[in-house]
Chain A
Amino acid sequence: MSGAQAVVEALRREGVEVVFGYPGGANMPIYDALYDFQNFQYTPLNERSFRHILARHEQSAAHMADGYARASGRVGVCMATSGPGATNLMTGLATAYMDSSPVVAITGQVPSYMIGTDAFQETDVVGMATSVTKYAFQPLRVRDVPYAIKAAFYLATTRRPQPVLVDIPKNVQQTEDEVEFPNHVNFPNYQPLPDPDPTIVKTIARAILEAQWPVILAGGGVKMANAYRELQAFAELLVAPVVTSFMGKGAFPENHPLSLGCMGMHGSERTNKLIPECDVFLVIGSRLSDRTTGKIEKFAPNTKVIHIDADKAEIGKNYKLPVVSLVADAKKALQALIREVEVGMMGRQRDAWVKRAQEVMVMAKTESDDDGAYLSGVETIKMLRRLLPPKAIVTTEVGQHQMWCEQHFQVIEPRTFFSSGGLGTMGFGFPAALGAKVARPDVPVFDVAGDGSFLMTENSLATSIEEQIPVTAVILNNRMLGMVAQWQRFFYRRRYSAVHLGRSPDFVKLAEAYGAEGVRVETLPELETAVNRAMRSPVTTVIEVPISPEEDVLPMLPPGAGIKEMIVG
């Protein structure tokens, strides 16, 4: 078997059902092996085939794999050729790395005997990827290929999920050799996370049971560990309010009576003010980034912080001195905590806790959430929430629309909201929506976009049409780079520098040029009609919503300010 065939066979053995990629000189043997393996038409998954989806840019291929991974909980696979193909992947890998998403990237490389000679389309991909992947393999013999791919899947999905790269020289792809496919791989210093330390679990349980006012912060780690149900059971058992980071949005149903929504830079003002008041703050699967806590020195100085994370390097990194910390998988940690706390809650008067929680919820309830009369960014988001079923998936790009989603789009069901929270990658949302739709063809998938972000990966429209992956992009068009403009308004005395995007392109015509449906809406009823139609449409729809260039995202925590110091308007 050739190295290229070994790649395809190894992917099949991992149960891969779809690969997002782009061919080129250095990965042509792999694509040739794919040709034997399947024809490129969509066929329902069977034992012998997986689907290849042709992106129109390698960055989009990586985002599609990322979106697929977040929606399915499985590894997302992307492929690119050497040189520019591989460098184009980097933004996508960095995005997945920052948000702890399991992506495996397979790149072609120049033949091994030419590595280091500045050959055509040669780049030091392993060197470049080292900072944005958990590991990067470069198998130099055919027999090393199956091991590298097995190991890539193992590393990407265990402990803290992260992307892994496999860079395969072209001659290794072409050479025929005897290959064996290992059933497991072993890394002496890397083992799956052990069960939570029972002593620490007991300590945490005691601290929570003794608390007057415990609040749980759920981060993206809860979602990655698929610990939705455990978190809900734990919070309900304790009658403890749950707040999330932006990455944790959706880890807890936001329509739940105990949900405090998101905290942080664009979190709810009352929630932000409330957090420092609690006496025990239980952090699960969050790195407590600056976007979540504001200035860390001013964050909850009188609160006992308990920190649970899958990555020991996150403990003490941003928040220096948690009173207790536990390195564990969020799901297992919550299961263990539930067992401990159940005993402690037995026979306990819950009335006081329920009353306290109710008070908290009343305090946290945001100002009147009445619907406005005219079409704005915020009203568009609110209407989307009303119209989309809870199981619908929403992705976002990066900017004002993303933060309006944080504030006004309640996420109810698990794995239905994906956004580039860590890297903040404009252009993530649309390809990620395609990846999510491939994982969940049964639910409507919407990308909420800004006019700036959408243009970053707009050419994925071609993929959505040709591969028949119908999604909807709702473009809030303020003809500005709205978030940068907002910061210039607030912090740079309205000196608008390079933020005017003007009238180009015409998004309706752009959509139509790709073969998608395009519609511009001017009123809320028109928006409602367009959204309902898009949900039923067999092809991708682009809904352009013109909004005011002066609409701000408020409230806002200025960068470097303490968590209580929000700008409200």
Chain B
Amino acid sequence: MSQDAQLRIISALVEHKPGVLYRISNLIRRKSFNIESIAVGPAEIPGLARMTFTMFSDYGRFDQVMKNIDNLIDVRSVEPLEERNATMRELALVKLSPGAPVTRPEVTNFIEAFRANIVDLSPDSLTVEVCGDPDKINAFINLARNFGLKQVARTGAVALPREMITQREMSNGESILR
């Protein structure tokens, strides 16, 4: 992978029907990308779904795969998003089993510092929900290793473009498909 490899975000509005996720993920596989995360759910228009993919790629290969995705019959529209011009959120459930010498206040301080919530509690473990951009989730999980990390479940990032971005950035985003 060349120097300009970075986390790329794809947001696609697609037909909400069987086989569409397969077509897109199969295409991405065929171009030898590893999908870092994927999140799918119904969109604001009935019958359509919005998919958010993230993957590491250089610009050239990313541009290529974007065009291929846009060529798919079931894809209504697809746009590349960048962290600087998109709102991006991910949710993770993290199960901890903190043992000595970690104290309960240390655990709660850690959770509060990330504005995370305890959603399940048992005598020897607790499950925490943490929400934020993927970097924040990564940071939380890394630190959680000091607090008896047992299990992680992540939703994958979802993203939407920010509205208050300059015209120039907007046109950059679109030119990728021309």
Contact = CB atoms under 8 A, between A and B. Distances in A.
B121 interface: no
Interface in A112-127: 126-127
Given A127-B22, A130-B26, A131-B26, A313 B67 contact: yes
B77 interface: yes
Contacts of A127: 22
Nearest to B29: A131
A316 B64 contact: yes
A134 B60 contact: no
Nearest to A127: B22
Q: Is the interface of B mostly helix, strand, loop or mixed?
A: helix
B68 A189 contact: no
A234 B11 CA distance: 42
Contacts of B63: 316
Interface residues of A, number: 19
Interface in A301-330: 311-313, 315-317, 320, 327
A188 interface: yes
Contacts of A188: 76
Interface in B44-99: 60, 63-64, 67-68, 70-77
A189 to B, nearest CB: 5
B23 interface: yes
A316 B64 CA distance: 8
Given A189-B73, A313-B71, A131 B64 contact: no
Interface in B78-134: none
A327 B75 CA distance: 19
A155 interface: yes
Interface residues of B, number: 20
Contacts of A155: 73
A327 B26 CA distance: 25
B30 interface: yes
B23 A130 contact: yes
A126 B73 contact: no
Contacts of A190: 73
A190 B70 CA distance: 9
A135 interface: yes
A187 interface: yes
B177 interface: yes
A327 B70 CA distance: 14
Contacts of A313: 64, 67-68, 71
Nearest to B71: A313
A313 B26 CA distance: 16
Contacts of A317: 64
A188 B76 CA distance: 7
Nearest to A318: B64
Interface string B16-37: 0001001100100010000000
A313 B177 CA distance: 9
B73 A130 contact: no
A126 B64 contact: no
A134 B27 CA distance: 12
Interface in A125-163: 126-127, 130-131, 134-135, 155
Nearest to B65: A313
A312 B67 contact: yes
Most chain B CB atoms below 10 A, which of A127, A131, A189, A312? A189
Contact of B60 (A126, A187, A320): A320
Contact of B73 (A131, A134, A315, A327): A134
Contacts of B74: 189
A299 B46 CA distance: 49
Contacts of B30: 131
A130 B22 contact: yes
B73 A187 contact: yes
Contact of A126 (B19, B70, B71, B72): B19
Nearest to B72: A189
Nearest to B26: A130
A252 B64 CA distance: 30
A189 B77 contact: yes
Nearest to B19: A126
Contacts of B26: 130-131
A126 B22 CA distance: 11
Given A127-B22, A130-B22, A189-B76, A312 B60 contact: no
Shortest beta-carbon contacts, A-B, top 7: A313-B67, A189-B76, A313-B68, A135-B73, A190-B73, A312-B67, A313-B71
Interface of B: 19, 22-23, 26, 30, 60, 63-64, 67-68, 70-77, 177-178
11 contacts: A130-B23, A131-B26, A135-B73, A188-B76, A189-B70, A189-B76, A311-B71, A312-B70, A312-B177, A313-B67, A316-B64
